[in-house]
Amino acid sequence: MTVLRTDWLEDPDTQHVCKVLKDGGADVYFVGGCVRNALLGAGASDLDLCTNMRPERVIDVAETAGIRAIPTGIDHGTVTLVHKSVPYEITTFRRDVATDGRRAVVAFSDCIKEDAARRDFTMNALYARPDGEVVDPLDGLPDLVARRVRFIGTAENRIREDYLRSLRYFRFHAWYGNADLGFDPDALSAIAGNLDGIPSLSRERVGQELVKLLAAPDPAPAIAVMRQIGLLSVILPGSDDRALAPLIHLEAGMPPEPMRRLAALGGEDPREALRLSKAQANMVQLLRTEATGSTAPAALAYMYDQSVARDAMLLRSALLEMPLPPMLETELNAGAQAVFPLTAQDLMPDVQGPALGVALKRLKSDWIASGFSLDKDTLLKRL
- Of 233, 236, 139, 122, nearest to 184 (Cα)? 122
- Of 166, 127, 128, 122, nearest to 144 (Cα)? 122
Strand ranges inside the chain, DSSP E: 28-31, 48-51, 68-73, 78-83, 86-92, 94-99, 104-108, 127-128, 134-135
- The kind and range of the H/E element at 358 are helix 354-369
**Mean pLDDT for all residues in the chain:** 93
The torsion of the CA quartet 309, 314, 316, 320, rounded to 10 degrees, works out to: 160
**Would the pLDDT of 197 be above 70?**
yes
The pLDDT of 348-372, averaged and rounded, is 88
Residues of the chain with pLDDT > 70: what percent? 98
Per residue in 338-348, pLDDT (tens digit) is 999 988 888 88
Q: What is the pTM of this model?
A: 0.90
**Would the pLDDT of 353 be above 80?**
yes
- Residue 379: per-residue pLDDT: 86
- Residue 102: per-residue pLDDT: 61
**Would the pLDDT of 62 be above 70?**
yes
Per residue in 294-307, pLDDT (tens digit) is 999 999 999 999 99
The pLDDT of 61-77, averaged and rounded, is 92
Per residue in 104-155, pLDDT (tens digit) is 667 889 999 999 999 999 999 999 999 999 999 999 999 999 999 999 999 9
- Residue 133: per-residue pLDDT: 96
